[in-house]
Amino acid sequence: MTQPSADLPKTYDPQEVETRWYTFWEAQGFFLPNLAEQAPPFAIMIPPPNVTGTLHMGHAFQDTLMDVLTRYHRMRGAKTLWQPGSDHAGIATQMVVERQLEQEGSSRHDLGRAEFINRVWQWKETSGNVIGTQLRRLGASCDWSRERFTMDEGLSRAVTQVFVRLFNEDLIYRGQRLVNWDPVLHTAISDLEVESEEEDGHLWHFRYPLADGSDHLTVATTRPETMLGDQAVAVHPEDERYTHLVGKQVHLPLAERPIPVVADDHVDPEFGSGCVKITPAHDFNDYQMGQRHDLTLLNIFTEDARINHNAPAAYQGLDRFKARERVVAEMDAAGLLASVEDHRLMVPRGDRTGTVIEPFLTDQWFVQVGPLARPAIEAVERGDIRFVPDNWAKTYYEWMYNLEDWCISRQIWWGHRVPVWYCAECDGDHLTLHGLGNLGEGGTPNQLAAHGVALVEAINQAEHIHVGSNATPIVPGTEDERPQRCPNCGSDKLIQDPDVLDTWFSSALWPFSTLGWPEDTEELRTFYPTTVLVTGFDIIFFWVARMIMMGCKFMNNVPFEEVYVHGLVRDSEGNKMSKSKGNVLDPLDLIDGIDLESLVEKRTSALMQPDKAKAVETMTRKEFPEGIPAFGADALRFTFASLATMGRDIKFDLGRIEGYRNFSTKLWNAARFNFMHVSQPPEAPAGRTWPDRWIVSRLQRTEAEVADAMAAYRFNDAGHAVYDFIWHAYCDWYLELAKPALQGDDPQAAEGTRFTMIRVLEAGLRLLHPFMPFVTEEIWQRAAPLAGCEGATIMRQPYPAADEALIDAEAEADYAWLEAFVGALRSIRGEMNINPYQAIPVLVRGGDERDRQRIANHRPFIDALARPERIDWLGQDAEAPQAAAELVGELQILVPLEGLIDLEAELQRLDKELEKVAGDLAGSRKKLGNPDFTDKAPAEVVAREREKLAEFEERYNQLRGQRDRLSGLQE
RNA sequence: GGGCGGUUAGCUCAGAGGUAAGAGCGCCGGUUUUACACACCGGAGGUCACAAGUUCGAUCCUUGUACCGCCCACCA
């Protein structure tokens, strides 16, 4: 068993403590749920980070919230699973490894498919999943024994199952469609992976001559190069300028072929000339119009967006942007360029490569989402899934009602390969094998056979296989991994579809695939549906919606009951953090610290535009002149929890984390104080003093507050309640109130105080543990035995729950009185600049019997906290000396001025106070003078207002009298 | 074009139809007291973006305006 050091240093050193405890927890298996336990389940699936990724602030934020929830529910007795894992991140990972190969002067094509995939696995084993280590540093209490990877055998089987079942239900189909094509990656991507930004461009106006040479039409385009694929010119059917031309032909320049003029509602007569060129194979709108008018789909691009053989010879092989220049130049030369104007337009770019995406005509696999969407929408409507905050449900509906079919095939190598085969014999003409190495150039199976090439060998060697639209898919039977023979001809020469599935296809299954589906496992029965999903709004469409669809489809139940949607972590200026902007903070640097030079180096090395390095450096040096100190994981976690307010982005500033680092130190020192006074378990006292009863009462209130806040995912409120309790109630007041007894000469009183002091500390540690797991464990290990607790770890102790019976109104009233009394004296001291250690004589007057008793009973506390020299009662009519005065209820507290206080200063102070009370008084009178208020407002509100008025009046008169006496004496 | 969110103390943010709007940081003044200067004590600081409406009462509800931000959408 790990033990905290016997002599606690003055300041808490998180680094050593944190790693020590994490190792212990993990080794002891404290993170694993006990399936045999009779307890309600609580499960959270981690949104699987990319295996290529490192922990950024967004992760750290999100994972902190998940861990707070996990630890909280675990301590509350739930059978708790936080399921960790990572995502194979097809495109991202493939890019990482390809970049490596590039540095070695190689490429994936040099390696071939099988070898390349090998290489990726190798990379994954050695350097993948850095995040796992980082999560541990953060304190994440995931069940690492159940860690999953989306390409694990089990998860891959789930992918195949899902694909085959959807395919057999016609919910997955293959089709030739216009898709978003990334010419750098040579793959299709989904709509969601395209990010459109407004950019500066031009609008070119071209003249297309009529075929009969009589006139011309002017069309406007932002993409001149696509004209090589134009199939028509469209005008609005009611546009009188052009109706007579509909049905005629224009001559398409450069391509030198005739195309028709068609009429279509979609054309906006107000825009440009009111004529639109139609390129059905290269624009989504034009594709639609092409369908309506039965136009040919003429593709003029290659896979890397060069001009292909369908265009005039002079253009073939040209890059799209070069082709654009050339088209413009030639049109201009031919006198057909009418004008050019500047134009802002939305440019679609790939979210990974940043390259301009092309609408491109290819064969792809799609999920028909309509039938899947309906139950998923209903699940949220019915309340089976609740979004927190609930406005996100609207965003969800909005998207779900407008779903387009989901393109799930990707032309990359790293990922789950589409579980579809084709028969080389039956489909001998529809399959083309490319890059066969020494077997030759390639060709269809039939052609290869004609040349005497062994098909199986060719299949194995093919670097790329093209599957024609008419090929017949063969999918595995439900239990099989792959079909052995063609069901049609019995041939075993089957060729697998070359595409892999969108990464999100497998992540959509995460909530059940990680629990063992399609097997009916105990974990699945126990933890599905999971309790809550914690995620950012940015992946509601990518991931959340798809999990709901898949869960409803394959589990007949929602994947989670609640979705907590958090905001984005931004820098202190409110900018999105990004490496290319050089404004990122690494959560690990906040935990362990980093010196300025390293920080500057780190931030300037990953810039997109290297010329910004100077600015980034200046900014960094200004913001972090001393670098970043090691705040510790606890401080970082508490900061995130405190900033986690509903549906709002958070700006991360160092002041906040510094404050919470201080909080951990504060707690540390409160513990040191305890250990100074408590060395063995104190005896339970026969009766408790009022400060003891008060702090216990206050603890119950805090516990209730935390429970309410946690139930509503109000992490900030929960954190604040604990903070306020520990710092302001326990440290500032309770420990100060404990000192007289601890240092006094009544051993029984001291023992009773020790008893309460250590037990409240212990409860406070448990209360705080989900937020600050490390420092609480470190202290708890030592405090627990003294507080009569047993156990190997705080993280498996029961979470403190409020006990109504321990709420003590009387003790709370005593405390409130004392706080006011002491506060009054401190305020006089503070404002009159009296040294805190100079004893001051105090006179009291007025008040009631209760006040008398309290002054007598609480005298030791008053002495300790306010240091009066003596307290004397003054008769109601007795002449008071010149004095500074405060009021506690009706009790007047006077501090004689003589030798202590400046009369002028006290008069000013009184005037200020009088002014304030006069304002309150007037407000209250006005309110009560309004018959509408007294008649219509609820009786209790009116009654409370009357009480208030009486108080104000009393207070005002007292202050007035004091002021008059003082100024009278002055004259 | 549609939708969503924001505007409260110098800064970062909480907040509820009804006392006198809060916290942390920062600021000002005081204190090295035997847990803690990463501390303690006292204090200053807000027309709750603007306008109208509902109400006995609005900073909170409604509508509108302004500014900021985000998401979605096919105007070439």
Q: Which of A552-561, A725-734, A777-786, A896-905 has the lowest mean pLDDT?
A: A896-905
Window A828-857, strand B contacts by Cβ < 7 Å: 829-831, 833, 835-837
pLDDT band with cut points at 50, 70 and 90 for residue A971: very low
Residue in the structure block whose two tokens are 């020299």? A869
Cβ of A933 near strand B (distance < 7 A): yes
Cβ of A826 near strand B (distance < 7 A): yes
Q: What confidence score (pLDDT) does residue A7 get?
A: 65
Cβ of A15 near strand B (distance < 7 A): no
Per-residue pLDDT at A608 exceeds 60: yes
Q: Which two tokens stand for residue A776?
A: 């609480």
Q: Which two tokens stand for residue A167?
A: 């395919």
- A479 or A521, higher pLDDT: A521
Q: Which of A299-308, A339-348, A603-612 has the lowest mean pLDDT?
A: A603-612
Average pLDDT of span A408-424: 93
Q: Which of A399-408, A565-574, A707-716 has the lowest mean pLDDT?
A: A565-574
Q: Which nucleotides of B are covered by protein (CB under 7 A)?
A: 3-6, 11-15, 18-20, 23-26, 29-44, 55-57, 71-76
Please give the nucleotide, over all strands, whose C1' is closest to the CA of residue A568.
Answer: B70
**3-state DSSP helix/strand/coil % of chain A, to nearest 5:** 50, 20, 35
Per-residue pLDDT at A138 exceeds 60: yes
- A939 or A358, higher pLDDT: A358
Q: Which two tokens stand for residue A774?
A: 């490390």
Q: What confidence score (pLDDT) does residue A969 get?
A: 57
Enter the DSSP assignment of A193.
Answer: G
What are the contacts of A919-928 at 24+ separation with CB within 8 A? A920/A952, A921/A949, A921/A952, A921/A953, A921/A956, A924/A948, A924/A949, A924/A952, A925/A949
Q: What confidence score (pLDDT) does residue A4 get?
A: 39
Percent above pLDDT 90 for chain A: 50
Enter the DSSP assignment of A726.
Answer: I
Please give the nucleotide, over all strands, whose C1' is closest to the CA of residue A235.
Answer: B76
Please give the nucleotide, over all strands, whose C1' is closest to the CA of residue A931.
Answer: B56
In angstroms and rounded to an integer, the radius of gyration of the C-alpha atoms of chain A is 38
Cβ of A827 near strand B (distance < 7 A): yes
A657-CA/B45-C1' distance, Å? 24
Per-residue pLDDT at A480 exceeds 80: no
| pLDDT tens figures, A361-371 | 999 999 999 99
Decide: helix, strand or coil at residue A359: strand
Cβ of A673 near strand B (distance < 7 A): yes
A470-CA/B8-C1' distance, Å? 65
Average pLDDT of span A705-709: 93
Work out the mean pLDDT of chain A and round it to a whole number: 89
Global pTM reads: 0.93
Rounded Cα–Cα distance for residues A704 and A710 (Å): 10
pLDDT band with cut points at 50, 70 and 90 for residue A773: very high
| pLDDT tens figures, A826-836 | 988 888 878 87
Cβ of A648 near strand B (distance < 7 A): yes
Integer CA distances (angstroms), A954 to A758, A892, A927, A960, in order: 43, 11, 18, 10
Average pLDDT of span A473-489: 85
- Tell me the ipTM for this assembly: 0.95
